[in-house]
Amino acid sequence: MIVRRRWTAAATTAILISAVLSHPGSAAAAPAAPASPITLTATETALVRVQLRDQAQLDRLVAAGADLANRPRARDGRILADLVLTGTQLAELTAQGATAVQVVQRAGDGTRNYADSVRAAQARTTAGLRAPAAGQRTTAAAAVDTLQVQQAYWWTTGGQTFLQAQVATTATDDPDVEITVSWRTADGATGSFPLYRFEDSGEYQYHYNLPQPVPTRPVQLTATSSLGGVSRVVTPALWPNVSPPPLPAGYQKDFIDAYLTPIDIQARIKRLARQYRDLVDVIDLPNRTQGYRRNAAGYLGDPAVAAVVVESVRFGDQNMNGVQVRTVDPGRANRPLTVNYRDRVLTVSLATDTAGKTVSTTDEVAAAINARQPERFRATVEDGSAGLPMPVAGPTRIDDGLQGTEVPARPWTVQALRLGVHRDGSRVGVLAYSQEHAREWATPLVTLEFAERMLANARTDPATRELLEQVDIFVIPTVNPDGANYSFNDFNFQRKNLVNHCTGAARDPKNRTSWGVDINRNYTVGSYFDGYVGASANCLSGNYAGTAELSEAESSNVIALAKDHPNIKFAMNVHSYGGYFMWPPGAYRADGRITLPRPSIDESTLFLNSARRIVGAIAQERGTVTWPSQTGPVADVLYSAAGNSADQLYYELGIFAWDFEVGNDRWNPATNQWEGVGFQPPFDEAHGESQEYAGGLVEMVRVARDYAAAESAG
C-alpha cells in the first residue's frame, strides 16, 4: 500500500546544506520544457528530475525535509534536483514555478522491473544551484581577480568525448562573477561553455559545470572571468588514465540474472557456502534486526471527521493482526467511559449524560485506552481530531499493513560472506557492503557478482587465485534486509529500516512510508549527535539519525564485523544512484563548514590514486566513467552526511573506507542532456551496473594486495 508522503518539518538541518551555483548573465538558454508536461496522479509517487524556480525554492524543500536523491546539479544555470514526489507535491512545485523534466522512476516501476528481471532469469535458466535572474549582468569590477584551474579532464565514452573543468576565483565574496571556459582540440576546433558558482554551507568552493561534449580530444583550456581574470593555459588530462589488467581468456562473470530480494540473497549465500567449502565461511552477524514486522494499527472513527489511532503494543504477527476495535453507545444515561478487551475485540463504551447522549471526546477515548489496556494497545488522537466528540464507530480491523506474504515474520540474522584461502586474519582484509538504503536494489547485485567472480575464477585463473591467497575478503550483500523486504513488497522508495521510533501523532498510519532510521546516519563519528550536518532528529525525515549513535542493529553489525576482524584495512560501501566515488571526510559542522580532519597528504594520495585505478576498472565493462567532479571526499563532492559508516571505519578503526554511488547518469545524444537512471532501473541497466562495479571491487582487492606488499617491503 502506498500512503501519501508529506513534507515533514525537519527538527534539525536537513541532509543538504543549501549549496549555491550561479552564473549571472549567462547567455545559455534555459533547458526546453518537455514536449508534453509531466504530471502524476494526486496519490502517485515517483522519482522526478525537477528544474526548480530559484534557490529559495530549493531552500524551502531542504528545510521541509524533502526526499532529495542526490546533490542538485547545474544545467545551463538552472537548478536540477531529483526528488521523490507525490502527484500533489509535484503540482504544488509546478504552481510555484518548477518544471518537471524527467520521470526517472515511478512507484510501480520497481515492482515491474523486479518482475521483468525474474522473468528474464527464468528464461535464461529454466548543495544546490542558484539560477541567475533574467537579464542580470555584472557591473564593472574595480579589480581583476585571479583564476586557478582546479580540474581539467577529458574522456571518451560511447563514441562521444567529454570535457569537465573546475575553476576557482579569488573574488570569493562576489556572487556575480561569471567564468567561461574556452577549449581547443587537436584538430583546431574551438568552443566555450560557462561555469556556475558552487557554494556549500555559505562557503564559496569553485565554479563548475556538468561534463560538456566536445568533438575530439581537447588539448588546450583557458578560463576567463567577468572581472578580467584569465587563468594560465592548461592541457586537459585524460581521466582516469588507468586501466586494469586485461581479463584472461575464459574469465567467468555475469552471475546476476535478476533483482534479488533478501530471501534470494540468503539462498545465494547458502549456495555459495556449499559450492565453495574450501574458500567460503558464512558469518552470522551478532545483532538480529527487527524483521519484516510492524505493529497492527487502524483508525477508530473517520479521519475526515474525528478519529483515534489505535495500535497494538506487540507486532501484528504476534496474534494482533485482525483484532477489532469499536466504540459503542451503552444506551443508558449517566454511564461512565469504559474499556474492555475480550475475544480479540477492544470495546470502548462511551460516556453518556443525563439524557443518554454520548459525551466522550477523542482525547478521553485515547486516554482511557492507554490507561486501561497499556499492555496491549496505545492510542493517539488523529491529527486534526483533538477535542472532537467521539462517534460510535467500528468495528475496525487493525493490522500491520505488510503485503509480503512470503517474507518470514521474525527477527532477521544478517549474514556476511568471508572469501579467501587463508581466512584466519593473517592476510590484509577487504570489506564490501551494500544496501544500507533499502530502495537501492542494484547494490547487492554488485557485491554478489563480485563474490561470485572471485570464487568461480579462483579455480581457473591464476591471478584470481593469487588474490584469494593474499587477501581476506568480507561481503555483506544486504545490511538492511527489513527495509529491503518492505521496499520490494510495500513501498519501493523505502530508504530506511523498519524500526519505528516515532511517538504521538507521528505514529499515524498515514506516515507509514516515512518511518524508520537511516542506517547510514546512525554511526558514531561526525554524527548528528556530535553537531554535524546531514541528518535529522525528526523520525519522519528520510535522514533520521535514530535515538542514539548505533541505536540500530543494522549499523551495529557493520561495526561489529570490522572490529572483530582488525585485519580489514579497506572497505567499500555500495550505494546508488548518481555515479560517485567518495571517501572521508563525509561530514562537517555548519558554522564555517568545519569538516572532520582531512587525511594526510600520503593518505589523500592513496585515496585518489586508488580511485583512479578503480574508476578505470569500472569503465572497462561498458565505458561508464565516474566524473572527476564526483570523485573525492563525500563532504566535497556530494553533501555532509553526518554519522555515515565510512567515517567511522576510517577515523575510529583506521580503515581506508570508500563509497560507490552506482548508476551513473547516461548521456542522451538526442537531447544533449544527462539523464538519471534511478534506484530500481529496468533490469538491463541494473545488470550493467552490477558488471561494471563488480569489476571495480575486484580492482579494490588488487589495491589492498599492493598496499600490503608495500607495507611488508617497507
CB distance 77 to 196 below 8 Å: yes
Q: What residues are paired with 89 via a beta bridge?
A: none
- Between CA 102 and CA 96 the distance in angstroms is 18
- 3-class secondary-structure state, position 521: helix
Amino acid in position 439: R
What is the Cβ-side half-sphere exposure of residue 376, based on CA atoms within 13 angstroms?
19
Q: At what angle do helices 442-457 and 683-713 cross, to 10 degrees?
A: 60
Query: Which residue, 226, 376, 240, is CA-closest to 313?
Result: 376
Please pick, among 449, 661, 689, 692, the residue that the annotation labels catalytic. Answer: 661
What is the Cβ-side half-sphere exposure of residue 164, based on CA atoms within 13 angstroms?
19
Amino acid in position 334: N
- Between CA 149 and CA 229 the distance in angstroms is 12
Question: Beta strand pairing status for 324-328 and 568-578?
Answer: unpaired
Task: List Cα–Cα distances, 412 to 261, 292, 362, 638, 639, in angstroms.
Answer: 13, 8, 38, 32, 32
Dihedral angle, C-alpha 13, 16, 18, 20, nearest 10 °: 170
The maximal CA–CA distance of the chain, rounded, in angstroms, is 98
- Between CA 242 and CA 591 the distance in angstroms is 38
Contacts of 32 (CB under 8 A, 6+ apart): none
Contacts of 682 (CB under 8 A, 6+ apart): 113, 116
Matching residue, cell 548573465: 25
CB distance 64 to 10 below 8 Å: yes
From the centroid of its chain, how far is CA 107?
16
CB distance 536 to 520 below 8 Å: no
Cis peptide leading into residue 240 (ω within 30°): yes
- Between CA 438 and CA 295 the distance in angstroms is 20
CB distance 511 to 502 below 8 Å: yes
Task: List Cα–Cα distances, 228 to 184, 325, 356, in angstroms.
Answer: 21, 74, 86
Query: Three cell numbers at 477?
Result: 550483500
Q: What residues are paired with 674 via a beta bridge?
A: 667
- Between CA 569 and CA 641 the distance in angstroms is 22
Matching residue, cell 575553476: 167
> Known catalytic residue: 661?
yes
Task: Indicate the helix (H) or strand (E) that contains 711.
Answer: helix 683-713
- Between CA 688 and CA 374 the distance in angstroms is 52
Contacts of 641 (CB under 8 A, 6+ apart): 15, 520, 521, 534, 535, 586, 587, 634, 635
Would you please indicate which residues are annotated as catalytic (active-site) residues? 661
